[in-house]
Amino acid sequence: NPLLEFIEWRQIDTNTYHIHFKNLSNNQEINTTISVEGLKINYESGIKKATILKIEANALIITDDYSGSSEADLAEVDKSLIPWGNAIYKYLQSWQRWKWFPLYRWYMCRVWQTMKPSARRIAYMLIVISCFEILAMCVFLMFH
């Protein structure tokens, strides 16, 4: 999720994890335990009870369950589902295109996924700027 800044992710047992993160979409800090049951993530504390992932023909549907929450809790609602869905789509699309390239697989698994969201944006900008600089240098050298 590009709007979650993880502080801690620790496995407790096979399907249970302790997570501590800052949600940049609502500026909330979450410190809870989650349990994973197939494509459902259950939250031990907080207003979000579960996140359910459902795979249908050509679609991934992500739903958050806030049952039992009051209107006073609305400030804590996670607004990052759409950016998260878009990020998953872009990631899977680029993985499908570039998975054959070992350097790409290494970079995505060992570097990109471990970065904070702000570091990813900065790294992306630096990569794009560097590519333009190399292209400009090649064009300059060709004509001089």
pLDDT at 62: 86
What's the rounded mean pLDDT across residues 127-134?
93
Q: Is the pLDDT of residue 82 over 90?
A: no
What is the model's pLDDT at position 79? 85
pLDDT digits (tens, 9 = 90+) for 18-63: 999 998 888 889 899 999 999 999 999 888 899 998 888 888 888 8
Instruction: Quote the pLDDT of residue 77.
Output: 82
Adjacent-strand bridge partners of 22? 5, 29
Average pLDDT, the chain: 89
Question: What is d(CA 21, CA 19) in angstroms, rounded to the nearest whole number?
Answer: 6
Query: 73 by DSSP, 3-state: which?
Result: helix
| pLDDT at 52 (0 to 100) | 92
HSE-up of 96 (CA within 13 Å, CB side)? Answer: 6
Distance CA 61, CA 51 (A): 10
Say what the pLDDT of residue 137 is.
93
pLDDT of residue 101: 93
The answer to pTM > 0.75 is no
What is the domain partition of the chain in residue ranges?
Answer: 1-98, 101-144
Q: Which residues of 113-123 are buried (b: 16+ CB within 10 A; e: fewer)?
A: eeeebeebeee
